[in-house]
Structure formats: structure tokens, C-alpha cells
Structure 1
Amino acid sequence: MTTDAQLVGLTDNAPPDQTPPDQAQPIAAGDTQRIASLDFIRGIAVMGILWANIVAFGQPFAAYMYPDAFTFPHSDAEDWMWVAQFVLIDGKMRGLFTLLFGAGMMLFMEKAWARGQGRGLQARRLFWLMLFGLLHYFLIWRGDILFSYAVCGLVALAFLRMEAHKQLVLGLLGYVAGAVLYGAMMAPLTLAADTPMGEEGGALEMVAPSLEEGKQIALDDGAVQTELIRGGDYGDYVAHMVGTHTADLGFFIFIWLFETLPLMLVGMALYRMGLFSGGFEPGRQRMWGWIGLLGGGAVSLLIALWVRDNGFTYYGTQAAMVGFSFLPRLPMVLGLAALLSLAAPHAAGWLGSRVSAAGRAAFTNYLGTSAVMMLVFHGWGLGLFGELGRTELYGVALLGCAAMLAWSAPWLARFRYGPLEWLWRCLTYGKLFPLRR
């Protein structure tokens, strides 16, 4: 899950720049109310992403979806925690981040066009984001989203001039197409692996052995990951990432192409239509927000209970996460965006302002969280990898969110940007900007 003008939910809010318009210059932060709304939602999203990712920080990567990949047994209570996370968190926080990515691209370009600048500035910004993502992926944590965001963002540049309603329709159609594609990909796998259809002859019977092999490869890689991280040899860990998981980057782009790019387009359209700035009638926006959130949540709960009742099988959890939950996730993401946009203007108290500050420094918080989790879990740090269950991992996530709320507001009271927001800004424009207010 940045900007002079909100990108990927990673942002800086600077005073308007007074550089003459014929020079390449930073794009000023836009309307205060719009930025407040985006920052507040971004703060919720960046903390929610930590809750989503904490299992894969502290346990083998496959444990994110598959409870039996934990290094010790998953309790009954933690099975229900899996259900709760599946319904409330998984995919929803990333979806919010992606909507904000699209909204941020649109806001950024509005300012650029107003100053006679073009898409090249945005492309350069995405290039640096791509490099940040690669460093994050190989050197810190395998669950990076920035690389995929940058690649899909470069594609999204082609749609910036499209009319808002066409962006919305194209984005929704693309997302639904992804739901059909991923559902069609995943359903046969769980049928072959988890039902009698995989034993009764025909094509599914032929597929079943290769599915068992694929599952074992993922679990074996988790065992290697556990050994490397616990061992504390950072060089061996990086070598494993480069040698074994470089090809995964292309697979991730394919997997998320029908989610990330469509949601970027939807975010662009909703920004232009005024969702984040009070452009919709509040009562109707609230009603549709709750319908989307509760309706999508109810379907997601049914899917989660199906997974639980079937014993959390490997391909059942995969199918639920990647395929079956894809479509009901959309109304939940849109519903959350609608409701949080309405809540943002009223979140002016101590907690609300801290959440917004965490959103303003979301780039630093996102990458900084990964760095801190290395310190917590790797053998050269506290060495807790594979030692904590889901319950304890949620406690770590709670402490991580508390840290985001604690540092972001005091820092931004003294400095113009978060540390990585400032670095990204300097790289984008090719010059140093003052950091202290």
C-alpha cells in the first residue's frame, strides 16, 4: 500500500510552491478538505495492511493463507481469528490503498497539467517507486506491493484523459473480468484436491498428483525460509530471494493485474466525481456504503465458514483468498471508501488527527514497518520468527499501529514530509527540498 499529491496512499503535504511555472517544480498539495479525507483513509489502510501482513512477517509465507503452514498447530480460537481476518481485513486494506493510488495519480496530474507539465513527471515518479519496491522485495520482505503498483500505474497513465464515467465502467468491468478469471482458475484446483471428483477418474484425477506436489513445494520453501531467517545470515536470505523468488514478480503482476489496474481506474473516477470531497449526497453515500460493506461482508463470511468447515485445506484457502472472495471484496472496498470519506471531516480529535498523520507518512510507515518487523523476527534481531502464534502476532501488529500513531504526528509537526516521502520527492524532481518546517 505517497506524494506531493497522493500516490499509493503515500503522501507529503507541502505548502504551495512559488517556483515560476516554467520550471520543473513540486506540485502543491491541493484542496485541504480533499487531502484530509485521503490522508485519513490512507492512515486506516496502512495500519490495516500491517494487520493483514503480520502472519507472513512472523511465520512462513504460506501461513498467510494456510493455517497448517504455521510452525506449530493453529488453535480453534485462532481458526476463528482467520475467519475474522478473512472477512474484515484481507484484500480490503489493499483495495483501499489501490483506490487511493488512482485518486492520487489523478490529483497529481491535475496539478501537473495546470502548470504545463505532462505525464513524464508521473512516469518518473513511478520509476522510483518501482525501484523502492524491488529493494523492499529482495532486501526486506517478499510481500511487497509497490513494484506491482508501479507497473500497473505506468499502464494506468494511458487512461488519465478518459472521461470519469468511462474510467469507472472500464475499471468495474475489468475487476469483474478478474473475478471470473480467478474463480475459474481456482475452482478446479480445490475440486481436484479436496473432493471425490479428484479420485473418480477424468482430468481432475490426473491433476491431483501435481497439486500435491505444488503444495509440498510451497511448504518446503517455507521450511527453507524459516531456517534462513532463524539462522540470522542475512546474505543467505537475500541470495535465496534472488535465486528462488525473482520469477514471482511477474506472477504477482499477473495475479493482481485484474485487481490493481481496475481499482486504480475506479479510484481516479471516484476522485473526479467527488467521493473524497463531499461531491455525493451524504445520506445516499452512507446508505450505499453500508449496503456494500454489509452485503459483501455477508458473502465473505459464508466463504470463510465454508473454508473452516472443510478443514482449512491448502487449495480451499487458496481458492477462497484468490478466487471466491474477489467479487464480494469489491463492494466492501467501495463501501469502506464511502463511509470513511464521510467520517474523515469529523475525525479531528486526538486519535483522528494521529490517524491522518500516519496516512501523510504512509510511505515511511509501510516500508518502515517491514524494516522493524525484520528486527523483531530475524535471527540477527530478536529472533521471534516462527515463535509466535496468530494471537501473539496480532499483539505485535497492535504495537506496530501504536508506533505509527506515536511518531507520525510529532514528526510532521516539525518536518514537511515523512523521511521517505521527502527522499522520493527529491528523487522525482532531481533536487533537494527543505525538510524542516
Structure 2
Amino acid sequence: MAPLASDRIPTLDILRGLAVMGIFSVNVVGMAMIEAAYFYPPAFGFDGIADRVMWAANFILVDGKIRALFSMLFGAGIALVCERAAASGREPWRVHYPRMVMLLGFGLAHYYLLLWGDILANYALMGMIGFVFWRLPAERLLVLALVGFALSNAPAVLYSQQLATMHALETAGGTPEERAAIATWRTSLIPAPAVIAADVAAHRSVAAHAERMWRENPLRPFESVPGYGIETLALMLLGMAGYRSGFLTGAWPRRRTVQVAAWCSAASLLYFGASAWAILQADFDPFTFVPLDQYWAGPLRPVAGAGYAAAIILLFPRSGAVADRVAAVGRMAFSNYLGASLVGALLFNGSGFGLYGQLSRAQCWLFVPPVWALMLWWSPWWLARFRYGPLEWAWRSLARWRWEPLRRVKEKDHG
């Protein structure tokens, strides 16, 4: 097992490891089938009971919640890096901003070459803003995070009202023009066969994917800032508060951590469990699915992220056979996140096995456990020989504009 570096915080590494594993279980849908299926499951590959079971499991336990946790951990990482830079006599901004610029480059490459659902570019852009707040105490960071969540979720009220009006017009008999517009909206959720065929063709090679991204939506990574950037920033600030208060490092008294795990996880499970039941009962009718999945779930994502963090801290010791492997995955979260996309490209892209658009939702999820196993195997194997993950090393070297030592030596690792 790879030894942990002396300056690592094992709890953060364990949290980060489980988060990056969880993210793949959601991203695999975006890798394996058309984008519309990611946002509205009946749009593609959703015919059997197993597809509904896998959707419900991800909806209740993973989707949105693990991204919230990952975003919180990114914010905690910003505070940690800046603190250590200041402690070593360096200007924190001189350390932080080169890191964000290089991360943006990686994110754009990831978007254009591999996956439309990249989050790295959004993290880099919002991280540039988040730096402004890293010195604040935990209480102020928490207040700002709550303000951010209120702002990011405010449009949901308007959208829900609009959707309720549309539903009323459909059921109570609107004008022919209004009913036609509603029917068009319903139809738009499920792409036409020609659109699906074009999407599949765009995945015949990496070059074809890149050409499509550049032609259809070249600015999407930057449009994520007004899109969901406020929520991302709020989650980062919440993570900074969690780090500064000692919550995310496991320094809280066990009783307080148990309370957070119990209350936050219970609230999340109650909402998402009840919503999944309602959606399944309505057979994914858009007027039930869209508000429960896209509008009202937002406030519960940070709650779930905090609850998951607390539960993981309670369940995983700071060291041990399993904990060390998961921590190794977390130490290489950047490599594992992008590495999972490379595996997805190999499996689904036409340049590899060409399985894109050939599998149902449940079938594509069968690749998740083997990829998790791969992460848990190769991460400690690599770290036993090298100081950083391969992409962590590249990111570090580029941000510092110098060749960082990579191979592990027998002396104590200070990296």
C-alpha cells in the first residue's frame, strides 16, 4: 500500500476518493448515450425495469449529491493550498491563479475531446472568484454560501410557476395554440431518430466529437458560469467553511458529526426517495419529473453533500486497508476523473469499442464497478512508486512552470 505523505489530510483524501468514484457512476450515462438521456431518462435506452431501478438508485443516492460533495472538497482544497502557500512565505494568489489557469486548460481539452459534461472548466472559472473569500472565517463563509444557494435556486420558483401554468392549460383546456406549444415542448424532450443518428455519428471518433463541440456549442464551458456557477461557488464556500471549522478534516466531536450525518442524510433520502416514487408512479410525465428533478432538488444537494461527508467521516477510519486504498484514489482524484473519461472514450467512442448508443441505462452502468475496482487498484500501485498522480504531476509542473520530481525516493516524501 502506498504510504501517505506527511502533509496529507487523510479524511479529505478519503472523501475525495469516494466522490470521484461516485461521479463516474453518473458520468457514464453521458459517456454512453445521447445527452438528452442524461437529463430526461425516457429519451433513450430506458425500456426495461432494470433501467428504472438504476435510475432510481442514482437519483436517490448519487446524482447531484456527489457533485455537491466534490465541489465542497474543491473549495476546501483552495483554502488548504492558499494557507500552505502563505505559511511558506509565498503569495497565495501567485500559487492559486496559475493552478486555475492550467485547470481551465485541462477542462477545455476534456470538454472538446472527450465529454460534454466536463466540470473542471467550471471549477477553474469559479475557483478564480472563490479565491477572494478564502481568508474569511467559517461563519462568514457559511453565510455567503447560504446567500449563494438562495440566488442559484431562486429561478426555480419562476420556472415551477411557468410549468404549473402550462400543466393547467393542458388539463383545463387552453387555446389550440397553447396546447400545440405544450405538445411541442413534450416532444422536444425526446429527440427525433435523425437527431439521435447524428449524435451517434458524432461519436465515431475523437475528432468527430471535437468538431461537433466546436461547431454546436464552443462556449459551453464559459456559459456554465451564469448557468450553474453560482451554485458551484456556493458549494466551494461551504467547503471552505467545512475545512476552516474542522468538519471536513474530521476534527469535530463525534456527536456533532453524527447529528449532521443523521439529519442531512435523512432530509436528502426523504426528498429524493419520495420524488423517485412520484416520478415512477407518473411514468416520468414531464410535469412531474422536471420540477422534482431539476427545480426543487437544488436546495437538497448541499444538504446531501454535508450529510455524506459526515457519514463517510464516521464510517471510514483515517487509516486501514480499505481507507488507504480509497485515500489513494482521492490523492489522484484529478487523474482518476480524467482517466475515467479516457476509459469511457475507449469503451463507447468509435475510435475504441464503439458502444456509444448501443446500450441501455442499466447496461452501461455495469461498467461502473470494474472502473471503481481499477481506480482502487492502480491508485495505490502508482503512488507506491511516484509522488503524485500523473495528471496531478503535470498540473503541478505546469502551474509552477518547472519540472517537478515525480518518482518516489526512499527518503521521507514531502510532496
Normalising to structure 1: TM-score of the pair?
0.86
Query: Is the Cα–Cα contact under 8 Å of residues 61 and 222 in structure 1 kept in the other structure?
Result: no
Confirm or deny: 8 A CA contact 1:13 1:360 kept in the other structure. no
Match of 1:48 among 7, 19, 22: 22
Counterpart of 2:342 in structure 1 is 371
Q: Distance in 2 between matches of 1:279 and 1:99?
A: 17
Question: d(CA) in 2 for partners of 1:256 and 1:13?
Answer: 38
Return the alpha-carbon distance in structure 2 between the equivalents of residues 198 and 121 of structure 1. Answer: 60
* 1:281 corresponds to 2:270: no
| CA apart distance, 1:54 | 1.2
Q: Please give the alpha-carbon distance, in whole angstroms, between the structure 1 residues aligned to 2:159 and 2:379.
A: 42
The structure 1 residue matched to 2:358, chosen from 375, 378, 387, is 387
Q: Over residues 272-321 of structure 1, what are the superposed CA-to-partner deviations in whole Å (9 max), with x where a residue is unaligned?
A: 10112333221121122111101221111122222222221356444333
1:157 positional shift = 1.3
Stretches of structure 2 lacking an aligned partner (at least 5 in a row): 409-415
Q: Which residues of 2 match residues 92-111 of structure 1 at below 5 A?
A: 92-111=65-84
198-207 or 273-282: bigger deviation: 198-207
Which blocks of at least 5 consecutive residues in structure 1 are unaligned? 1-11, 16-28
Match of 1:265 among 219, 237, 255: 237
2:124 counterpart of 1:150: yes
Structure 1 residues 215 and 168: CA distance shift in structure 2, 3 A: same
Note closer, same or farther for the CA distance 1:199–1:365 as it changes in structure 2 (3 Å cut): farther
Identify the residue that residue 244 of structure 1 maps to in structure 2: 216
Give the number of equivalent residue pairs.
Answer: 406
Question: Which of 379, 390, 411 is the aligned partner of 2:382?
Answer: 411
Q: Deviations over 1:30-62 (max 9, x none)?
A: 4x4xx1000000110000001111111111111
Q: Is the 8 A contact 1:39 1:359 kept in 2?
A: yes
The answer for the alignment partner of 1:426 in structure 2 is 397
More displaced 10-residue stretch of structure 1: 327-336 or 76-85: 76-85
How far apart are residue 216 of structure 1 and its match?
5.8
1:129 aligned partner: 103
Q: Percent identity?
A: 33
Which residue identity is paired with 2:215?
Answer: G
**How far, CA to CA, are the matches of 1:378 and 1:62 in structure 2?**
17
What is aligned with 1:75?
48
Segment of structure 1 superposing worse, 297-306 or 404-413? 297-306
CA distance in 2, matches of 1:160, 1:118: 10
Structure-2 change in CA distance of 1:375 and 1:186 (3 Å): farther
User: Once structures 1 and 2 are overlaid, which stretch shifts more, 239-248 or 194-203?
Assistant: 194-203
**Structure-2 residue corresponding to 1:21:** none
Following superposition, the deviation at residue 200 of structure 1 comes to 2.2
Q: Does residue 166 of the first structure (1) align with residue 137 of the second (2)?
A: no
For the 8 Å contact 2:170–2:182, the answer to whether it is kept is no
Displacement of 1:365 in angstroms is 0.5
Change (3 A) 1:252 1:289: same
Which residue type is aligned with residue 109 of structure 2?
L
Question: Is 1:178 aligned with 2:152?
Answer: yes
Distance 1:205 1:166, change over 3 A: farther
Corresponding residue SS for 2:367: helix
Amino acid in structure 1 at the alignment position of 2:152? G
Deviates most, 376-385 or 178-187: 178-187
Corresponding residue for 1:334? 306
Q: 1:290 aligns with which of 262, 279, 283?
A: 262
**1:85 maps onto 2:91 in alignment:** no
Name 2:413's counterpart in structure 1.
none
- Give, in whole Å, the separation in 2 of the partners of 1:198 and 1:247: 41
Letter of the 1:252 partner, please give it: S
RMSD: 2.6
Flag the 1:97–1:334 CA change in 2: closer, same or farther, 3 A.
same
Cα offset, 1:82, TM superposition? 1.2
3-state SS, counterpart of residue 248 of structure 2: helix
Q: 1:383 to 1:190 in 2, by over 3 A?
A: farther
Q: Which has the higher contact order (CA 8 A, sep 6+)?
A: 2
